[in-house]
């Protein structure tokens, strides 16, 4: 009689046939033989023993990504339509209408996730801690990114000037600040740090969601030269959102940055 | 300095630095050392379920579809594009023909599990942790207990690999396009600078798109427009290469960002030159489809791995 040949046995947990010399069940992962482990370790409770795979929720996660795709796509579409309109009529005033359409799109997405958005916009989230974080972020943004833009301008790289819009359409300073400082700050923060980051962090987690929302933010500005700087801005605004649990500090910093650029252009 | 308003910058796309419209062919299926890189012809699809189970569906042009198990024809009837049968060890199996508007698929399920066909599965299956031999249906390595996942992971891995190849190709195309356009635009730039040479730097020129420039400012813009094509395309190429490299560890965020960039590039190209909207539209759709399939595959792999 051949006592050396392994006997075919079933897994004690799932009942699957075990292979010869198998240490683990290939179907459920339960250990079949005692592990050769150093003394002191608990060989009676192997890593996979008792572990049952949870049902996957990829459909739910796909829905989250689809919402991000729709918002990103609609914002791109309004940019495309506005850009095409400018190429047809360079003197046309499409900035206001584009802001309006973007606002409607973003607010409709915010309404879909209203519980989340309202909690991020609640005034109680903007306390002393948020103020402290805002100060740190503002210092980094104005010093580091200000220096980068200063160096870029020194190379002679021509940037589009916001104040050219004043020249084209006879905007007052207040109109300019509302349209190019306040409105982008409010709506972009709701879109990127609110809706998009909220969805992405559920799929990717905090760190990867933070990186991806910053990338989307920079890409949607549709100017490759400023991808890196706007990616950094997206990271700073996202950091504020994570640290404070509020969109308000990001809105303040965003609006301040835009306003500072407009004022600087006027004084240059 | 530059403000960060989406609205402002997007509207300025028409006068900003331009970049090229990249077109590319569909990437080949997953190609690894031990992978089959040639796709199986549509008339024959095969599955290696395990060492003792090899299933083939033959679909000859002028005769009936046949199912073979280990080289022997299987008795049975096709019922509404579905063929039910049993394997030698008694496990229930079925083959189903599925189609939608874009593609046709032939799916094999054994004991309820979707089995990827031989195009997606390496011939020599090994545990990624201990390199022991494993079977396609194993969800855990029988030697080290490493969790392997469901067999359909090979389909998802193929989608991710396809998207990564697409990103690499885009990187190459951006670089090539940038260099070519830099040299092509050289003559135009020289001609523009020659025209501007009759003006002094401080002279104010006729308004362009409602904005007034001095000759010096316009000269700077012309020079940077030329350099910009090269810089922007090389920058995009570098970003795509970094994303392709990153996708080895973090496929989902890398493919998401690459897709966002690719779509944005198409939008900017359309704003700069509306004719590019129609140019290579099918290839653009295919590229986006490959990237979206990669996102879905990466999402499924991530979900499977918790």
pLDDT at A12: 83
Average pLDDT over residues A88-103: 85
Mean pLDDT, all residues of chain A: 84
B139-154: b (≥16 Cβ within 10 Å) or e: bbbbbebbbbbbbbbb
Inter-chain touch B140–A208, beta carbons under 8 Å = no
The gap from C-alpha A97 to its chain's centroid, in whole angstroms, comes to 26
Q: B140–A216: do the CB atoms touch at under 8 Å?
A: no
User: Per-residue pLDDT for B207 more than 80?
Assistant: no
Using the Cβ of B84 and the Cβ atoms of chain A, whether some distance falls under 8 Å is answered with: no
User: What number is the average pLDDT over the span B254-266?
Assistant: 96
As a whole number, mean pLDDT of residues B219-244 equals 90
Mean per-residue pLDDT, A258-268:
86
Q: What is the pLDDT of residue B90?
A: 80
Cα B23 to Cα B169: distance, rounded to the nearest angstrom: 9
Query: Is the Cβ–Cβ distance between A212 and A201 less than 8 Å?
Result: no
B305 in A contact zone (CB under 8 Å): no
The pLDDT value recorded for residue A45 is: 43
pLDDT digits (tens, 9 = 90+) for A10-39: 888 888 878 878 888 888 888 886 655 444
Residue in B closest to A204 by C-alpha: B253
Q: Which of A130-139, A162-171, B251-260 has the lowest mean pLDDT?
A: A162-171
Determine the pLDDT at residue B102. 61
Inspect the interface and report whether the beta carbons of B224 and A158 lie closer than 8 Å: yes
User: Is the pLDDT score of B306 beyond 60?
Assistant: no
Alpha helices in A94-195 (DSSP H): 95-112, 114-121, 128-140, 146-154, 163-169, 173-177, 183-188
Residue A125: which of A251, A254, A255 has the closest Cα? A251
Residues of A whose CB is below 8 A from B224: 156-158
Give the per-residue pLDDT at B304: 62
Kindly report the average pLDDT of chain B as a whole number: 80
The percentage of chain A sitting over the pLDDT mark of 90, rounded to a whole number, equals 50
Closest Cα of chain B to A124: distance in Å? 27
* pLDDT tens figures, B126-162: 888 898 888 888 888 988 888 888 888 888 888 999 9
3-state secondary structure (DSSP) of residue B76: coil
Of all residues in chain B, the one with the smallest CA distance to A185 is B5
Give the model's pLDDT for residue B163.
95
Query: Out of B7, B19, B270, whose CB is closest to A95?
Result: B7
* pLDDT over 70, % of chain B: 83
Among the residue ranges A216-220, B114-118, B250-254, the one predicted with the least confidence is: B114-118
| Sequence-ordered alpha helix ranges (H) in chain B | 6-11, 153-196, 215-246, 251-272, 281-304
A187 vs B51, more confident = A187
* Mean pLDDT confidence for B226-234: 89
Question: Measured between alpha carbons, how far is B129 from B126 in angstroms, rounded to an integer?
Answer: 9
How many beta carbons lie within 10 A of that of residue B250, not counting itself?
18
For B177-191, write each residue's pLDDT tens digit: 999 989 988 888 888
Judge: B3–A262 Cβ closer than 8 Å, yes or no: yes
Instruction: Mean pLDDT check: name the lowest of A106-110, B41-45, B229-233.
Output: B41-45
pLDDT per residue over B1-60, tens digit each?
444 333 233 333 333 333 333 333 333 343 444 343 334 445 788 898 887 788 999 888
Q: What is the pLDDT of residue A154?
A: 82
Torsion A179-A120-A107-A75 (CA) sign = positive
B138 interfaces chain A, CB cutoff of 8 Å = yes
pLDDT (0 to 100) of residue B162? 92
User: Which of B7, B111, B181, B206 best tests the A interface by mutation, with the highest count of A CBs <10 A?
Assistant: B7
Q: What is the pTM of this model?
A: 0.76
Q: What is the pLDDT of residues B74-85, one digit of tens each?
A: 888 888 888 998
Mean of the pLDDT values across residues B271-294? Answer: 91
Q: What confidence category does residue B98 fall into, taking pLDDT thresholds of 50, 70 and 90?
A: confident
What's residue A184's pLDDT? 93
Of the listed ranges A156-165, A190-199, A213-222, B211-220, the one predicted with least confidence:
A156-165
Q: What is the pLDDT at residue B17? A: 34
Query: In what side-by-side order are the strands of the sheet with B82-86?
Result: B82-86, B92-99, B104-110, B113-115
Contacts of A252 in chain B (CB under 8 A): none
Q: Which residue has the tokens 């730097």?
A: B201
What does the pLDDT average to over B108-129?
Answer: 86
Question: Nearest to residue B226, comparing CAs of B273, B272, B179?
Answer: B179
Please, are residues B244 and B168 in contact by the beta-carbon 8 Å criterion?
Answer: yes
pLDDT value of position B19: 36
């Amino acid at each position: 009689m051949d006592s050396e040949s392994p006997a075919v046995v079933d897994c004690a947990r799932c009942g699957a046939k075990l292979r010869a010399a198998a240490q683990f069940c290939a179907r459920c992962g339960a250990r079949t033989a005692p592990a050769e482990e150093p003394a002191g370790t608990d060989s009676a409770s192997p890593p996979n023993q008792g572990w049952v795979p949870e049902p996957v929720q990829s459909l739910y996660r796909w829905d989250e990504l689809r919402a991000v795709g729709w918002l990103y796509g609609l914002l791109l579409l309004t940019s495309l339509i506005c850009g095409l309109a400018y190429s047809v009529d360079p003197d046309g005033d499409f900035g206001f209408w584009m802001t309006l359409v973007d606002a409607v799109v973003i607010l409709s997405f915010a309404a879909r996730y209203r519980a989340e958005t309202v909690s991020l916009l609640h005034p109680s989230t903007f306390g002393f801690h948020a103020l402290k974080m805002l100060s740190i972020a503002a210092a980094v943004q104005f010093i580091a990114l200000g220096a980068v833009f200063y160096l870029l301008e020194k190379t002679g790289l021509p940037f589009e000037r916001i104040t050219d819009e004043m020249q084209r359409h006879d905007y007052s300073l207040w109109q300019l600040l509302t349209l190019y400082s306040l409105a982008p700050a409010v709506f972009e923060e709701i879109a990127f740090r609110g809706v998009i980051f909220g969805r992405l962090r559920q799929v990717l987690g905090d760190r990867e969601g933070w990186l991806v929302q910053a990338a989307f933010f920079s890409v949607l500005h549709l100017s490759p030269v400023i991808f890196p700087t706007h990616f950094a801005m997206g990271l700073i605004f996202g950091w504020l959102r994570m640290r404070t649990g509020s969109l308000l500090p990001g809105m303040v910093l965003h609006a301040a940055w835009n306003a500072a650029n407009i004022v600087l252009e006027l004084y240059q | 300095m530059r403000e960060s308003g989406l609205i402002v910058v997007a509207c300025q796309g028409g006068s900003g630095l331009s970049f090229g419209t990249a077109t590319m062919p569909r990437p080949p299926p997953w190609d690894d050392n031990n992978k089959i890189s040639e796709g199986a012809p549509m008339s024959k699809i095969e599955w290696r379920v395990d060492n003792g189970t090899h299933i083939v569906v033959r679909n000859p042009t002028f005769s009936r579809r046949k199912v073979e198990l280990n080289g022997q024809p299987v008795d049975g009837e096709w019922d509404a594009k579905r063929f039910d049968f049993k394997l030698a060890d008694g496990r229930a199996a079925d083959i189903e023909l599925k189609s939608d508007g874009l593609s046709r698929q032939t799916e094999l399920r054994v004991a309820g599990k979707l089995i990827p066909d031989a195009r997606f599965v390496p011939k020599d299956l090994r545990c990624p942790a201990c390199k022991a031999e494993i079977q396609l249906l194993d969800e855990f390595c029988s030697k080290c207990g490493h969790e392997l996942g469901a067999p359909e992971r090979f389909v998802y891995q193929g989608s991710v690999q396809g998207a990564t190849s697409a990103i690499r190709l885009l990187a190459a195309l951006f670089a090539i396009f940038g260099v070519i356009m830099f040299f092509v635009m050289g003559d135009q730039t020289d001609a523009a600078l020659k025209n501007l040479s009759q003006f002094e730097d401080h002279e104010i020129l006729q308004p362009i798109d409602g904005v007034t420039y001095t000759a010096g400012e316009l000269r700077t813009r012309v020079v940077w427009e030329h350099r910009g094509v090269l810089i922007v395309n090389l920058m995009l190429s570098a970003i795509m290469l970094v994303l392709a490299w990153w996708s080895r560890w973090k496929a989902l965020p890398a493919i998401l960002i690459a897709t966002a960039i690719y779509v944005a590039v198409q939008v900017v190209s359309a704003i700069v030159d509306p004719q590019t909207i129609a140019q290579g539209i099918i290839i653009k759709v295919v590229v986006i489809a490959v990237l979206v399939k990669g996102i879905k595959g990466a999402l499924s792999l991530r979900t499977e791995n918790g």
